[in-house]
Structure 1
């Protein structure tokens, strides 16, 4: 019998019907999500949009808390996009980039934990954590202290939603922490005090650390993005460090004129200039960044991989070459910036 996770995600039954958990219709959860929809700006709501994508691709992301954190409105909107793609027999279903990105970060984080873990507790810092649930779903974090850094209203809302999941109800999955420790750090990484707040929450610069910057850098100004990367690079001279980040190229930021700011066409050159070493870059569709989700050989991601990175416009059809780079870099006390 074929395992459901091994089947093509572009076909039924995954998206034949949107089935939402009963927890979303409880009074407490509905009030919290109503506040999100009425009070949060687009930047803050992007955390719930990301959770919706992970929820609807949970047959590969295994994110069982994502539905709760996304909410009915965002789940319905994302589902409608997927249904439209399936109806039109699109080569790339909405959310596939998000699913691949999630799996890439998960796999690289697991490898980094295996590399850096020793007798001491490993530190894992998620900048712009949003509605991330890795502390609850990745077994590899059992000897890790996870720090989630984000705006106060995001982390407070996340904590309130997760609290609703702990209320005893019939036929409800028990929420279990996988990480050894979890600290939520209320800070705006666009400011210059987030590192001090991180230290106050228990972060020790001299301990081995994995930094995760998933879906965050392009929301920052160029100045703020470089400052964040330089800050991490400076501390990589104190201890073994792994940085996992994704970068948009310039055409990608044009997709949302009001939201995306920072871009980098050559992150594998930028990071060494800041002090990182052993930089490895992947594009969606590369052997380590497709996870069996891009089976159509004519999908746009495979085509992009055949076009030189210096080219911004597809020479065949004139469409922008929108790229997302997945980058892993390391640092150690033996290398100075």
Structure 2
């Protein structure tokens, strides 16, 4: 049976876009990482989605005014690659959860320590498509897929039924998730994840600020995602406070700052005190 993500569910479009961006990054001579599986995961819709993003990001008739999505995605991927590798090795965590998993291939393209169990959580259609596209590929880790929608009331039960132990240290990655869901749902997600984490467990996520949802110069990019049916819905100017309220002690770094640049961020990085500017945050820390 052939599994197709076309026409793609709105959320699944972002997964195919990410695969297309990672495939394009892998073809660059100055690439920040190599994802040899991304090209297989792009699907039929990926090139079209990437072309729409490129047209919005680099308009032919005027200078770029919105963040460079290819550079941002490359930095985000490399930042989380490095962070996850450090986290599982420094703490000896035996569990890593990627939710949602999308077209991510870190379970295949990165080296992981012995004894780690790697959980991917996403919708059944996404995981079925991914399995078909990666047929024959062998994970480098004990790899477990959990086919459940993160909006389901029992996804935690499905995760534990698959072997996850909420009492053992874990590392969680919420990549490309929080700005696509309304604020109450984003807060509820953090609360639910916190309830699954033993003290000392690590978390990582990306998040935009509130102004990124409303600034006029962001409109070309926002319109693309809204047109796909997956508008950006939530942003926070105080990511540290947001995560603290749900049991995590974190720090937030912006692309272009130390440790989140890799020589690729093309824009100035305004101080946090500056108002009415777009921002993206990479948030990472621990469960109290």
In structure 2, distance between residues paired with 1:111 and 1:122: 13
In structure 2, distance between residues paired with 1:308 and 1:60: 26
Please show how residues 173-322 of structure 1 align to structure 2 within 5 Å.
175-179=137-141, 181-236=142-197, 238-254=198-214, 255=222, 256-257=225-226, 258=229, 259-277=231-249, 279-294=250-265, 299-300=266-267, 302=268, 305-309=269-273, 311-312=275-276, 321-322=277-278
Q: Indicate the structure whose relative CO is greater, using CA pairs within 8 Å and at least 6 residues apart.
A: 2
Structure 1 unaligned blocks of 5 or more: 1-27, 167-174, 313-320
Does the Cα contact within 8 Å between 2:156 and 2:196 map onto a contact in 1?
no
Question: Residue 56 and residue 134 in structure 1: after superposition, are their counterparts in 2 closer, same or farther (change >3 A)?
Answer: same
Question: Residue 90 and residue 218 in structure 1: after superposition, are their counterparts in 2 closer, same or farther (change >3 A)?
Answer: closer
Q: Which moved more, 1:321-330 or 1:71-80?
A: 71-80
Task: Verify: 1:149 aligned to 2:121, yes or no.
Answer: yes
From 94, 106, 109, the equivalent of 1:134 is: 106
Give the match for residue 9 of structure 2. 41
In structure 2, distance between residues paired with 1:111 and 1:79: 34
Query: In the TM superposition, what whole-angstrom CA distance separates every residue of 1:142-193 from its partner, at most 9, and x where no partner exists?
Result: 4311111111111111111111xx2xxxxxxxx33211x1111111112321
Does the Cα contact within 8 Å between 2:16 and 2:45 map onto a contact in 1?
no
Query: In the TM superposition, what whole-angstrom CA distance separates every residue of 1:200-242 from its partner, at most 9, and x where no partner exists?
Result: 1110111110000001111122222111211222343x34300
In structure 2, distance between residues paired with 1:267 and 1:215: 15
In structure 2, distance between residues paired with 1:81 and 1:150: 24
User: Rg: which structure is higher?
Assistant: 1
Please show how residues 155-174 of structure 1 align to structure 2 within 5 Å.
155-163=127-135, 166=136
TM superposition score normalised by structure 2:
0.84
Does the Cα contact within 8 Å between 2:95 and 2:170 map onto a contact in 1?
yes
Structure 2 unaligned blocks of 5 or more: 215-221
Query: In the TM superposition, what whole-angstrom CA distance separates every residue of 1:84-104 from its partner, at most 9, and x where no partner exists?
Result: 949889697541101100011
Give the match for residue 25 of structure 2. 57
TM superposition score normalised by structure 1:
0.72
Question: Residue 46 and residue 81 in structure 1: after superposition, are their counterparts in 2 closer, same or farther (change >3 A)?
Answer: closer
Task: Verify: 1:110 aligned to 2:85, yes or no.
Answer: yes
Aligned residues: 269
In structure 1, distance between residues paired with 2:173 and 2:255: 18
Task: Verify: 1:71 aligned to 2:43, yes or no.
Answer: yes
Query: In the TM superposition, what whole-angstrom CA distance separates every residue of 1:36-67 from its partner, at most 9, and x where no partner exists?
Result: 223x2222121111110011011322111011
In structure 2, distance between residues paired with 1:109 and 1:89: 36
